[in-house]
Chain A
């Protein structure tokens, strides 16, 4: 405390604040992992449906996914967060944020997945079937490995984008990195320091994804 008895509104950045940020980074990581993995699984299923190309699939699913792709994520978050209680299904910021992130990611991944499936020529798939492979064996042993090699860089781009977009869940009050940094900035009045530290955290989360995908790509290239 200061020598005078005046009230202190602001206190400087302390070591404990790093722990506060680290916890928030953990939440960013959690919601990212859930959003990206859930969205990827769902997106692959959607991409497969789109690739089958039945008109009703393209008309309904394609349209819904276009909406999720086109409306800014922050608007989707606010809309759904307020919409769930109206339909008698109230969700906390974490639940609502995760759900919206999964849908948003799945819409992006669906296009990537469709691209991967279409990267495998019809004649290659016919060759697989001519060997007696079932439809699912063709998907599992031929389309999947060829397709994923073709679109891994695109998927990585989506994943990194979503990781950074989790910052928007802060508008719902979920205490992730950005939200935590805002609180610290208000208290310490040291935006440069806090944002630099938070930026470093985001980098630390993104970097492994980028490196992992780079290594896979290198392993898969035979040149």
Chain B
């Protein structure tokens, strides 16, 4: 379970998060929607401690992410993250990209790590690209590689930061399909996304973030069918 309580975050004088409260239960898929610059991505970065916070707290299975004694390197192994820019390691083959962290972070043997990597790449449909370098992969394939890389650490939670925003339109589908697959397998996911179709079909709950606050949160039927907040209605009218 991830508990976010009154989280505040500023970049200099600019307050990006102004008191976010959100609890994510295990097995739940939550989509976070909202305009660019509303603080959605920053929230994800705060959850795995890539960004500090100025107020409130975030607990992952009861462990305070920003606590003084928290071992972030260990905590992050439970929080897989997929970025907008897929960030493949260009000097490594697809297989090595995925096998690196299990080997050096978890201390798996070379053979074990390769076996994990092969299984995860097959999982995301890249079983035929094991020895290919990222420069030879399409954006969609690189993003699926990034998903496999995160999954190889066997995380309890997956954070997706606009995973399809940097992709050419024809490549979005394959990545969304992979995310759907994970959701159907019961993964706990927090997805910052602009894909309203995905948010509606896959999420258990959808959160609309506006100006650093959660304006409205509820099941997709509520957000997309009967939004109570006027701001939510206005945003959805614009993106449709």
Contacts and interface: CB of A to CB of B under 8 A. Distances in A.
Interface of A: 121, 123-124, 126-134, 137, 141-142, 145-146, 149, 220, 222-223
B79 A130 contact: yes
B104 to A, nearest CB: 6
B104 A137 contact: yes
Q: Say whether chain A's binding surface is mostly helix, strand, loop, or mixed.
A: helix
A136 to B, nearest CB: 10
Nearest to A133: B105
Interface in B41-98: 45, 48, 50, 73-74, 76-77, 79-81, 83, 85, 87, 89-91
Given A132-B105, A222-B135, A223-B135, A127 B153 contact: no
Given A145-B91, A223-B135, A134 B81 contact: no
Nearest to B50: A126
Nearest to A147: B91
A130 B81 contact: yes
B149 interface: yes
Nearest to B85: A123
B76 A131 contact: yes
Nearest to A124: B87
Interface string B214-237: 000000000000000000000000
A54 B73 CA distance: 24
B133 interface: yes
A121 to B, nearest CB: 8
Given A141-B100, A146-B89, A222-B135, A131 B83 contact: no
B83 A132 contact: no
B101 A131 contact: yes
Given A146-B89, A149-B91, A222-B135, A133 B83 contact: no
Interface string B89-117: 11100000000110011100000000000
A127 B146 contact: yes
B206 interface: no
Interface in B109-142: 133, 135-136
Contacts of B74: 132
A162 B163 CA distance: 47
B73 A133 contact: yes
B90 A132 contact: no
A129 B133 CA distance: 21
B87 A127 contact: yes
A8 to B, nearest CB: 63
A131 B76 CA distance: 6
A127 B83 contact: yes
B62 to A, nearest CB: 19
B7 interface: no
A131 B136 contact: no
